[in-house]
Amino acid sequence: MNHENIPSIHLLTPLVANQIAAGEVVERPASVIKELLENSLDAGANNIEIDIEQGGIGLIRVRDNGFGIRQEQLILALNRHSTSKINNLDDLTRINSLGFRGEALASIMAVSRLKLASRFYHAEIGYSIQIDNIESTTAPTPIPHPIGTTLEIRDLFYNVPARRKFLRTEKTEFNHIHETIKRLALSRFDVYFKLTHNHKTIMALKTAQTEDEKLQRAAMLCGPEFMEHVLPIESEDFAEMQLHGWITQPTYSRSQADMQYFFVNGRIIRDKLVNHAVKQAYEDVLHIGRYSSYVLYLKIKPSEVDVNVHPSKNEVRFAQGGLVHQFLVSTLQKYLAKTSAGKMGSPIDASQLVYQPKNLTDKAIEYTNNQAFFNSNSLSSYQQAEPSYQEIKETKQFYQTAQMPLLAEKVPLSNELQTPVAATKILIPPLGYALAQLHGIYILAENEAGLVLVDMHAAHERITYEKLKTAWETNNITGQNLLIPIEIAVSEQEAEIMEASTKVFEQLGFKIERVAKEMLVAHQVPLLLINANTATLIRDVLADLLHIGFSSNLQEHKREILARVACHNSVRANRQLSLVEMNALLRKMEVTERSNQCNHGRPTWIQLNLKDLERLFLRT
């Protein structure tokens, strides 16, 4: 070894140190925008204007009306680790500001030509400082300037060509800037944002005070379809946490996770715990390979969240992650459970027309006298089964409190809850009344708005699935002994997984015995599944268990197992249904949670209102 070539320890020059720091803070023009806008918001600004040229490479100018910077602190503001937002270690445990590291301006200055102008709110005039070289600093110059601060960043990465060559096209870099501003605009509805690119106004967002105004801003930033399918969220206070904002109905989904905005105490974050919680809340209502859209705001005690875990401040760590996860899942599931025909509008078109065809009145009166209206079991028994007292009572209560159109006086039931008395007003259910069946797959129904199309298998699958979930969670799946046990030929591996999963099958209401190396015998099946093909169902459940791997934690795989079982008990395509059976299915959809979509996230029904139909036939 040549000892003469051993490097000695030395201090980095300020230029190199700041350029290294810039590598963490300044990735591209959008990174500069984020840091500057966060400083403006922390300075109390409610009016921010952003001018961009050449995708931010040529010019980034941010002007705000915040409280400004004192003359004597302009140069200090450009030093590393200079900040007005924290003073000691204790402050790091309760950060309320967006910025706090004190690295942004120094890092930006190291890779650009920077001009800083500001007027402190108590000062009569403003002052300006321009730095083209970090190692030479001039004194602030007095200038006329409104209260607030203006920062100009020119020729980004002019002195770091290795970094500059990794920048993308002007359009791509501007799109990143636009997305960054969109996120901050969603976090602060009380702030006016204006964005220009190459002297053309791209965005001008007025302040939003009311909930309607906030939703309108969200619609402008996320698109009109987002607003059309939105579900407002407003949670109750839980463990000093609150969640509000908007999620979209499961039938409105995207091919990528590009419209998911989550804010913690006003800070946009990307967090694995949050992503998992949202995914779990949507797990049995979202189509495979699709992503939900949301704009959500979590309010939590600053001491319960650590925002100092990543240089870009995009990640956080929760002190009680399990509690936060539980709160997010339970809150979102509560609102997603409302996506049923009886509680909200169509997942495709929520608009309603006032339309009262006379023949619907006759159908309503005729149907109210039909006790199949109250049936809750399988489709095959809709015409024969006698309704229980509780079923009649619950259905009556539902239709008396539901917000539905009226055609005539409501039909009150007698005290015995069995026979209608003199008809006065008739409630038109949301899904209306069945007209016919199309190709053995779809139900055509007429409601007050127009025409309803229902995928009967998908709808019945959701109904069965929700029943199974409730029964599973209350350990109340009733089994039915078979007069003649059913022999089921399986592979040796399937027989072994059945023996290892005995508790799973028992909780589902099965009693199955292994009688040979490759033979099972079913002695009992769930009452809900009495009409299903038992052998095929058991083989499919075993296949699912083999695929997902047996686990003692049944909750992890409950959805897959119950979805498989529900599918087997649902009405199949080409099954001919009577009008009574079709209407019974519609009524069950209206009182079943999440019935706007099947277990796989596909729509179970769509609405074509009269305007839609008139457009199809070119009527005006």
- pLDDT digit string, tens, across residues 173-196: 999 999 999 999 999 999 999 999
Q: What's the pLDDT band for 453 if we cut at 50, 70, 90? A: very high
Q: Across all residues in the chain, what is the average pLDDT?
A: 81
Distance from the Cα of residue 114 to its chain's centroid: 40
Average pLDDT over residues 204-208: 96
> Which pLDDT score, from 0 to 100, does residue 378 have?
41
Tell me the sheet residues that pair with 444: 436, 453
Q: Which residue has the tokens 């699935």?
A: 465
Q: 449 or 403: whose pLDDT is higher?
A: 449
> Which pLDDT score, from 0 to 100, does residue 469 have?
87
Residue-wise pLDDT tens digits, 265-291: 999 998 899 999 999 999 888 877 889
Average pLDDT over residues 593-617: 90
> Which pLDDT score, from 0 to 100, does residue 598 have?
87
Of the ranges 408-417, 418-427, 492-501, which one carries the lowest mean pLDDT score?
408-417
Q: Which of 312, 23, 51, 56 is nearest to 175 (CA)?
A: 56
Tell me the sheet residues that pair with 197: 52, 200
Tokens describing residue 224:
């009109």
Q: What's the pLDDT band for 88 if we cut at 50, 70, 90? A: low
Q: 20 or 32: whose pLDDT is higher?
A: 32
**pLDDT of 254 strictly over 90:** no
Measured distance CA(467)–CA(592) in Å, rounded: 9
Average pLDDT over residues 392-402: 45
Average pLDDT over residues 490-497: 91
Q: 410 or 191: whose pLDDT is higher?
A: 191
Please, what is the Cα angle at 424 between 402 and 420, to 5 degrees? Answer: 80
Q: 473 or 482: whose pLDDT is higher?
A: 482
For residue 75, the one-letter residue type is I
For residue 598, the one-letter residue type is C
Q: Which residue has the tokens 């705000």?
A: 64
Tokens describing residue 293:
């859209």
- CATH number for the domain formed by residue range(s) 211-336: 3.30.230.10
> Which pLDDT score, from 0 to 100, does residue 64 have?
97
SS3 225: helix
Instruction: Say whether 211-336 and 14-205 share the same fold.
Output: no
**pLDDT of 345 strictly over 60:** no
> Which pLDDT score, from 0 to 100, does residue 508 have?
85
Of the ranges 427-431, 501-505, 554-558, which one carries the lowest mean pLDDT score?
554-558
**pLDDT of 34 strictly over 50:** yes
**pLDDT of 420 strictly over 70:** no
Q: What's the pLDDT band for 421 if we cut at 50, 70, 90? A: very low
> Which pLDDT score, from 0 to 100, does residue 190 have?
96
Q: What's the pLDDT band for 78 if we cut at 50, 70, 90? A: confident
Distance from the Cα of residue 598 to its chain's centroid: 17
Q: What's the pLDDT band for 524 if we cut at 50, 70, 90? A: very high
Q: What's the pLDDT band for 99 if we cut at 50, 70, 90? A: low
DSSP element (H, E) containing 267: strand 267-269
**pLDDT of 375 strictly over 80:** no
Residues in Cβ contact with 509 at an 8 Å cutoff, skipping those fewer than 6 apart: 477, 478, 479, 480, 524, 525, 526, 527, 528, 529
Which string of DSSP letters, residue by residue, matches 446-485?
A: E-SSEEEEEEHHHHHHHHHHHHHHHHHHTT---EEEEEEE
Q: What's the pLDDT band for 94 if we cut at 50, 70, 90? A: low
> Which pLDDT score, from 0 to 100, does residue 383 have?
35
Measured distance CA(67)–CA(119) in Å, rounded: 8
> Which pLDDT score, from 0 to 100, does residue 288 have?
76
Pairing mode, if any, of strands 450-455 and 442-446?
antiparallel
**pLDDT of 38 strictly over 70:** yes
> Which pLDDT score, from 0 to 100, does residue 385 have?
36
The full set of domain ranges for the chain reads 14-205, 211-336, 340-620
Average pLDDT over residues 236-257: 90
Of the ranges 64-78, 129-143, 262-276, which one carries the lowest mean pLDDT score?
129-143
Q: What's the pLDDT band for 84 if we cut at 50, 70, 90? A: low
Residues in Cβ contact with 13 at an 8 Å cutoff, skipping those fewer than 6 apart: none
**pLDDT of 370 strictly over 60:** no
Residue-wise pLDDT tens digits, 586-602: 999 999 999 998 888 88
Average pLDDT over residues 439-464: 93
**At the fourth CATH level, which superfamily is domain 14-205?**
Histidine kinase-like ATPase, C-terminal domain (3.30.565.10)
Measured distance CA(171)–CA(177) in Å, rounded: 10
Average pLDDT over residues 527-541: 83
